[in-house]
Structure 1
Amino acid sequence: MTRIKGIRIISHNSEDHTCKWATGYPDVPGATAMTAAMKEKVEERVDAFLGQEGDGPATLCGGAPAGTEAARDAELNVSFSFLVASGDVLGVRLTTVQAPTAGDGIDTRTYWYDGKDKVHKSAPELIADGSRNAFLTAVQERLKKKEGADPTLLDDPADHDFSLDDMAFTADGDLTVVFDRGTAGVPAGGRYSVTLPRTTVSPWLSDFGMRVQKQTVSPSTGLDLGATDAPAPPVPTHTADGEDTTDCAKVKCVALTFDDGPAAPYTGTLLDHLAQYDARATFFTVGQNVAAHPELVRAEARAGHEIANHSWNHPDLTRLTPAEIRSQLTRTNAAIEAATGKEPTLFRPPYGAINGKVRSATGLSPVLWDLDTEDWKYPDASRVAQSVTSKVDRNDVILLHDIHATSVEAVPGILRTLTARGFHFVTISHLRDTL
């Protein structure tokens, strides 16, 4: 995928094992309208999951009363993947997984941005207005061949922005249409997809659709959506001064850990804070964020910090199959190794959720924590700092997040106070090796 200058990943999650939800989507310079559309959909899903209206308190978790066993079994996860980011077109697929639900609980939607006309486009707009009837007929003919499918569910044009909301080209220029459970057949039939060959679909494409197809098949060397150039946050260049020689058997140590990043600009600011106190930390990174910001992960490693694995898109690993667990962790390890040249040995399961199945699916060593700042719940820098300085003990592993501005703002106070008390800040592996 083309490296996207100035990209930010908008990440939010609860980190609460009693109500698990995590969301992530990209904010690409120039594609403001598309980002707004994704933001609206993601917030709508989270509010519905939490039974929340406006700024009111959450009353539910996945449809169950908050605090109940059913709520603890619920989970919402929204992740993203790039379909094309080239020339003057951008395509993103959001994948939403919710549990417990009937079936697989998965629904997907593609978002498109036209840099030429500077507008957000829906998936059906890949097809020219005058060709939509022919396109729909071809899709319905292919659906007839699939057991349980009901092509007549697509007859109402008013529903097409919903039923035809996931369309994308293959590397060969074919067009694949994916239907969520119940939109093109009986719910028991699950999700359906049909693929129209390039030779069939090409005459029906809109001007935008033709450009998307071209950039998918033969990507340009860069992405240009006409965004006004803005200075990117500088990437810190701190370099570790040799190996850490701290002996935690003789002095007071503490391990600061930061989950869910890297995040621009917060992670860069955090690295500056840590460097001022010669503090080393462990970053439990999310794979989709590593892929977007490898330069920040390299900066972490260069400064002597430890890079570890926090899954690809922050699901509850205990809900997944062994193959899915391995995929979450191996994809993230590969992204980290590509950025730093070194493969991680540690992982932290999202929400701290781990069982025998998860342990058996990976050779990575799990890391939990001793002190949870709950910084995701209380966006108050002074409160976050106080939650550490008032409770910390020698050799504690402290849980923080580098996706929240207030958490990063709390770090100088933590470093200053604990340094004055004689604490040394080390990585997880160093703490383990010297005790």
Structure 2
Amino acid sequence: MRTHRLLPSLLLLGSLSMTAACSSGSSGSSGTATAARPGPSATTAPVRTVDPARIKGLRLVSDNSEDPSCAWATTYPDVPGATAMTDAMKKDVQGRLATFRELCEESSGVAGELNISHQFLVASGDVLGVRLTTLGGGGVGSGLARRTYWYDGGAGAYRTASDLVADGSRDAFLAALKSGLKGREGTDADTLDEAFDNRSSLVGELGDMDFTADGDLRVTFAPGTVGAVPAGSYVVTLSRATVTPWLSAFGRRVQRQTVRPSASLDLGATARPTPAVPTRTASGDDDTDCAQVKCVALTFDDGPSAAYTGTLLTYLDRYDARATFFTVGQNVVAHPELVRAEARGGNEVGNHSWSHPDLTRLTAEQVAHQLNRTSAAIQAATGQAPTLFRPPYGAVNTTVRNATRLSAVLWTLDTEDWKYPDASKVAESVVSKVKRNDVVLMHDIHPTSVAAVPQILRTLSADGYHFVTVSHLRATM
């Protein structure tokens, strides 16, 4: 993970919002929507939180490059039964990634960063909703794009955001949206007329829609869709009373499951078997004296991974080895049982941000949000807050350091395991180069990296090495 430069347009984690919030008595809105002040501090409707750990068989498809000239990190969920929806997300993610890689090649490594993260909107009854948020990727304007994906378990079909609204109600729905946008800063009558006159094109642009906990429908227009690109995105929220008559049958089910979620999610498919979670318990105490014996700290970034982290913990257990896991927050909340197993086995759990952005290109407030949110998830899973963080790409500066009390950890040996789909090469990159007191960088989201661990442990143990956590190494070397 190495530092690199980002395009200035990708500074923000969120775009500037021009929000239209529900209210009666607004001039020109027919009582359906009015404007609130722009920016992140604008009044927003309540949002119901979804606990991804309750989704049986959930796997997060995560991948990233550590190439400093073409840095990207992507993740999207794979939920049993929602194959068509997963395929749609996969297609979009791979398409954006392919475009970004082409831009990297054309721009000789100054394309910035691509970051795609996910959020569950609904996961109950026979309804599943997910939002993917894309930052960067060589797009115009703010470099921010959001799209919501929906799955109808009753029909066994993938749905787009526009499918929440009945076909026969589209005209009334679009008219209400246009009314909610009139007079907003950055828009003008001609721009709105042009956008809304092209009805079929506009419906296709409505890719980000969801319901609040009160049942209101929130519609987000991407930058440049209905106003000036520098103004960012525009949000119009239509009240439950106004929008409900316009919803499709599926839209009403989504609304109902958002307001009053069912106890479980049932998409009509058998949940995939969940890999066993190691049950090893080891004391947090370690009497290894790294001043007297050879020590090495193995560190694993970007997990936990439902497919591979449990296996890695089993390998560590066989050699009584301890490691440090720098976990990504959105993965922690999806698989807290694996994070608990890491800590229970005597390993150290560190913070690797919520969604793997380059922290040096964020404001201090945004850095704090990325790290604090992840620390809270780790503490909820393990009962103990982390003390260490590893900045994605190794990118750290004064702003990042001052935004947190966590201690930054980099590395002394980079395996570059993401480059090699060959476990033996990954193992050789460690055993042929390791030195006493090294901090080794690896990743537990790559199967070949995990498969290399037994050879690393076996060879280095025979050479007299002891495997300790980063904190223990720091304290005793």
| TM-score, normalised with respect to structure 2 | 0.86
Task: State the secondary structure of the residue aligned to 1:388.
Answer: helix
How far the C-alpha of 1:118 sits from its partner, in A, is 0.8
Q: Tell me the residue number matched to 1:331.
A: 373
Answer whether contact 1:255 1:398 (CA < 8 A) is retained: yes
How far the C-alpha of 1:161 sits from its partner, in A, is 4.9
Task: State the secondary structure of the residue aligned to 2:60.
Answer: strand
Residue 269, structure 1, aligned to residue 320, structure 2: no
Q: 2:121 aligns with which of 60, 72, 83?
A: 83
How far the C-alpha of 1:186 sits from its partner, in A, is 2.3
Looking at structure 2, the residues matched to 409 and 124 of structure 1 have their Cα atoms a distance apart, in angstroms, of: 44
Task: State the secondary structure of the residue aligned to 1:172.
Answer: coil
Looking at structure 2, the residues matched to 97 and 348 of structure 1 have their Cα atoms a distance apart, in angstroms, of: 21
Q: Tell me the residue number matched to 2:272.
A: 230
Task: State the secondary structure of the residue aligned to 1:376.
Answer: helix
RMSD: 1.3
Q: Tell me the residue number matched to 1:11.
A: 62
Q: Tell me the residue number matched to 2:130.
A: 92
Alignment of 1:107-256 (within 5 A): 107-149=145-187, 150-152=191-193, 153-241=195-283, 243-256=285-298
1:233-275 Cα shifts (integer Å, max 9, x gaps): 1111111156211110100000000000000120000001110
Answer whether contact 1:122 1:161 (CA < 8 A) is retained: no
- The 3 A distance-change label for structure 1 pair 174 and 242 is closer
Looking at structure 1, the residues matched to 370 and 283 of structure 2 have their Cα atoms a distance apart, in angstroms, of: 33
Q: Tell me the residue number matched to 2:361.
A: 319
1:147-200 Cα shifts (integer Å, max 9, x gaps): 223323133233245311000001110001001111112223321110100000
| TM-score, normalised with respect to structure 1 | 0.95
How far the C-alpha of 1:18 sits from its partner, in A, is 2.4
Residue 38, structure 1, aligned to residue 89, structure 2: yes
Paired letter, 1:20: A
Residue 27, structure 1, aligned to residue 78, structure 2: yes
1:9-57 Cα shifts (integer Å, max 9, x gaps): 1111112222211111111111111111001000101110110xxxxxx
Answer whether contact 1:124 1:160 (CA < 8 A) is retained: no
Paired letter, 1:83: L
Looking at structure 2, the residues matched to 101 and 129 of structure 1 have their Cα atoms a distance apart, in angstroms, of: 31
Looking at structure 2, the residues matched to 233 and 379 of structure 1 have their Cα atoms a distance apart, in angstroms, of: 23
Looking at structure 1, the residues matched to 248 and 159 of structure 2 have their Cα atoms a distance apart, in angstroms, of: 12
- The 3 A distance-change label for structure 1 pair 101 and 355 is farther
Q: Tell me the residue number matched to 1:54.
A: none
Paired letter, 1:88: D
Structure number with higher relative contact order (C-alpha < 8 Å, ≥ 6 residues apart):
2
How far the C-alpha of 1:339 sits from its partner, in A, is 0.2
Q: Tell me the residue number matched to 1:387.
A: 429
Q: Tell me the residue number matched to 1:377.
A: 419
How far the C-alpha of 1:371 sits from its partner, in A, is 0.6
How far the C-alpha of 1:103 sits from its partner, in A, is 3.8
Q: 1:366 aligns with which of 379, 403, 408?
A: 408
Task: State the secondary structure of the residue aligned to 1:146.
Answer: coil
Looking at structure 1, the residues matched to 283 and 374 of structure 2 have their Cα atoms a distance apart, in angstroms, of: 27
Q: Tell me the residue number matched to 2:35.
A: none
Answer with 154-163 or 238-247: which moved more: 154-163
Answer whether contact 1:247 1:434 (CA < 8 A) is retained: yes
Looking at structure 2, the residues matched to 423 and 322 of structure 1 have their Cα atoms a distance apart, in angstroms, of: 40
- The 3 A distance-change label for structure 1 pair 379 and 126 is same
Looking at structure 2, the residues matched to 40 and 155 of structure 1 have their Cα atoms a distance apart, in angstroms, of: 30
Paired letter, 1:36: D
Q: Tell me the residue number matched to 2:395.
A: 353
How far the C-alpha of 1:215 sits from its partner, in A, is 0.8
Looking at structure 1, the residues matched to 264 and 183 of structure 2 have their Cα atoms a distance apart, in angstroms, of: 40
Q: Report the identity percentage.
A: 65
Answer whether contact 1:259 1:400 (CA < 8 A) is retained: yes
Answer whether contact 2:100 2:138 (CA < 8 A) is retained: no
Paired letter, 1:230: R
How far the C-alpha of 1:392 sits from its partner, in A, is 0.2
Answer whether contact 1:309 1:332 (CA < 8 A) is retained: yes
Answer whether contact 2:99 2:137 (CA < 8 A) is retained: no
Answer whether contact 2:422 2:448 (CA < 8 A) is retained: yes
Structure 1 residue ranges, 4+ long, deviating more than 6 angstroms after superposition: none
Looking at structure 1, the residues matched to 327 and 334 of structure 2 have their Cα atoms a distance apart, in angstroms, of: 12
Structure 2 unaligned spans of 5+: 1-49
Answer whether contact 1:261 1:284 (CA < 8 A) is retained: yes
Answer whether contact 2:142 2:229 (CA < 8 A) is retained: no
Paired letter, 1:45: R
Looking at structure 2, the residues matched to 103 and 117 of structure 1 have their Cα atoms a distance apart, in angstroms, of: 38
Looking at structure 2, the residues matched to 129 and 208 of structure 1 have their Cα atoms a distance apart, in angstroms, of: 12
Answer with 413-422 or 10-19: which moved more: 10-19
